[in-house]
Amino acid sequence: MNWKTFYAMLSRDGHVARRNLLPTLMQNLLQPLLLTFVFGRVLTSGGMMQGSYKNVLLPGIISISMVLSGVWAVAMPLISEFQFTKEIEDRLLAPMATQWLAVEKVVAGMIQAIVSGIVVIPAAYLMMGSGANLSFAHPLQFLAVCFLIAFLAAAGGLTLGCSIGQAHIGLMFSLIIAPMIMFGCVYYPWSFLKAFPVLQYVVLINPLVYATEGLRGTLVPQIPHIPIPAIIAALVVMDLVLLVVGLNRFNKKAVS
Amino acid sequence: MGIGIRIEDLRKIYDSPPPSALRGAGGFSFTPVRSAKSKDKKKKVEVVALDGISLEIHPGEVFGLLGPNGAGKTTTIQILTTRTRPTNGRAFVGDHDVWQEQVKAKLLIGVVPQRPNLDFALTAREVLLFHGAYFGQSHKERARRATELLEKFKLTDRADHMVRTFSGGMMQRMLIARAMMHDPEVLFLDEPSAGLDPQTRLLLWEIIRDYNRQGKTIVLTTHYMDEADTLCDRLAIIDHGKIIAIGTPRDLKASIPGGYLLRLRFDRAPEELLARLRTLPGVSEVRSTDHIAADVYADRGGPLISAIVNSAQSAGAELHDVHISEPSLENLFLHHTGRSLRD
């Protein structure tokens, strides 16, 4: 394995990400902060929601920020670079087995997802105003969950990026991303779905559920959540499945 | 010491439209061949891009693949550069099977693709620097080489501009500079001069010759006769995925009977004169439509001139103009396939 090449590609992605820092930050931050403000601040201060809703919402916001930024960071460049211009070809011709390029993309996506999480946590917390009670009693579990979420996002981005053509980006958003967010337990804990028993089990195929519930379980354990060991197990399985599927699709796209 | 290339019975059958056709690259002219299983519900369309090609490219030579669009030139290059998996057969760069030992093969080759695939997120200098980094060059080395290449390709003043703002010709130069960045032993150029202005084309030819002088092997595809003729040590003429002729441009041209064409113009060319021309040694055909000009097809060029002048004098005509065209690859292609290269 040619680590020099791998590292050079990682630094290329880092270089491009730094060049696009401002737009990327805006893209990743604006929406979560607006959501935080409207749901966490406006609705709670007006009395529509109880103040404790902030505790439910904050982990959800962090989770969608991490997942979306990771998916975006991997999927969008792949979709465009595999299209018409075939920009990716210079890296496919680099002296490294082609699928390591996919691995590199996943690592780069994970870094972006983690950075996004690191930025969103304090920003959303501040935007929320007083009232969110975050607990950092289980830092190791929290870090493990964050790592698995970043992995999930990047591997998911790889799978999506290698499955979807440029013409279908809009469709991907409305058919995949939007339902994932709505049924990803972002705005409510999973246990609230018990009134809809079928739905409650159907949503378990949605990886975002484990991401949000995992963050809830580690940041605001006082809110009912799926048990942490089950979450970690589910995230590991989903990470691996998405990685394998993504690598497969990547290989198919990379070589004709 | 240069690196040679060996191709053994290479076949490539696409079961969906080939990627370059999807990208709209110079219209694929295949007739889709239905497979034997076409009676199945799924109508599987097979496109035979390469139909058993074998050839050997010697170390240090400039080798040309000549043929019309869709002949299989690009597929051959794509297989040799690890980008396409052959259906059958093997291809070697040096001692490395390009499919089995991809990384070792990739270290030896530089590729200039048919269409610009520059990294649009970077500037010209960055494209070269990162390319050097992918190939493990040290910081100092890649900075030096990038500066040299930008200078050589007359891109220094645009070095720090994003490549997506470049014109077609500049992108083409960037592609070649990038391919040379890691000093590969074998340089592949897929239609390098398509769409270039004549001046840039000459610069390109000079650069290719110069690179070849360092002992590097060059493989290029083209559908320009003059390019194949002036640049290549040896040529393979490909059509419908098969090699129809292979050899030096000179030998190939010599293989056509009566390959020379003498275009003559007289003050007048009466039937008597044309008849005399037909009897000259080595002449296979004489055509005249207006009784002023005559096209003489013959197996020799210059040596016929004095005989032509004599014939003209004895027929009472005067020779005004002579143009001798040597046996051309165009004629060769016509000879072998019965159709013109541009069809």
Query: Which pLDDT score, from 0 to 100, does residue B31 have?
Result: 45
Residue B251: CB atoms within 10 Å: 12
Indicate the average pLDDT of chain A: 89
pLDDT at B261 exceeding the cut of 80: no
Domain segments of chain A: what residues? 3-254
Which CATH topology does B257-326 take?
Answer: Alpha-Beta Plaits (3.30.70)
Residue B157, both tokens: 């003043």
Which residues on adjacent β-strands are paired with residue B141? none
User: What is the predicted pLDDT for the residue at B339?
Assistant: 59
Length of chain A: 256
| Predicted TM-score of the model (pTM) | 0.82
pLDDT tens string B106-124: 999 999 998 889 999 999 9
Do residues B170 and B203 touch, judged by C-beta distance below 8 A?
A: no
Chain B residues with CB under 8 Å of a chain A CB are 14, 18-19, 23, 78, 81-85, 102-103, 106-107, 109, 111, 113, 115-122, 126-127, 130-131, 133-136, 178
User: Can you say how many angstroms the Cα of residue A256 is from the centroid of all Cα atoms in its chain?
Assistant: 30
Cα separation, B262 vs B284, whole angstroms? 12
How many angstroms separate the Cα of A197 from the Cα of each of A178, A190, A200? 21, 11, 5
Task: Parse chain B into domains and list their residue ranges.
Answer: 5-118+166-253, 257-326
**Chain-chain contact of B136 with A93 (C-beta, under 8 angstroms):** no
To which residue do tokens 């419908």 refer?
B240
Q: What is the DSSP letter of B32?
A: P
The rounded mean pLDDT for chain B is 83
CB contact under 8 A, A11 and B133: yes
Can you name the CATH fold of B5-118+166-253? Rossmann fold (3.40.50)
What one-character DSSP code corresponds to residue B152? H
- The secondary structure of chain A, three-state, reads CCHHHHHHHHHHHHHHHHHCHHHHHHHHHHHHHHHHHHHHHHHHHCCCCCCCHHHHHHHHHHHHHHHHHHHHHHHHHHHHHHCCCCCCHHHHCCCCCHHHHHHHHHHHHHHHHHHHHHHHHHHHHHHHCCCCCCCCCCHHHHHHHHHHHHHHHHHHHHHHHCCCCHHHHHHHHHHHHHHHHHCCCCCCCHHHHHHCHHHHHHHHHCHHHHHHHHHHHHHCCCCCCCCHHHHHHHHHHHHHHHHHHHHHHHHHHHCC
What residue type is assigned to position A28 of the chain?
Answer: N
Q: What is the rounded CA–CA span in Å between residue A124 and residue B37? A: 60
- pLDDT value for B176: 93
| Mutation site, A2, A91, A93, interface B, largest B CB count within 10 A | A93
Residues of B in contact with A86 (CB under 8 A): 23, 113, 115, 117
**What size, in residues, is chain B?**
343
Q: How confident is the model at residue B177 (pLDDT cuts 50, 70, 90)?
A: very high
Task: Quote ipTM for the complex.
Answer: 0.88
A149: Cα within 13 Å, side-chain hemisphere: 34
* pLDDT score of B258: 66
Q: Which residue has the tokens 């980094």?
A: B133
Please work out, in degrees rounded to the nearest 5, the angle formed at the alpha carbon of residue A114 by the alpha carbons of A110 and A117: 140
- Residue A87 contacts B, CB cutoff 8 Å: yes
Amino acid at B30: F
Q: Give the pLDDT confidence score for residue B257 in this predicted structure.
A: 59
Name the residue in chain B with its Cα closest to that of A95: B103
Q: In whole angstroms, what is the distance from residue B180 CA to residue B176 CA?
A: 6
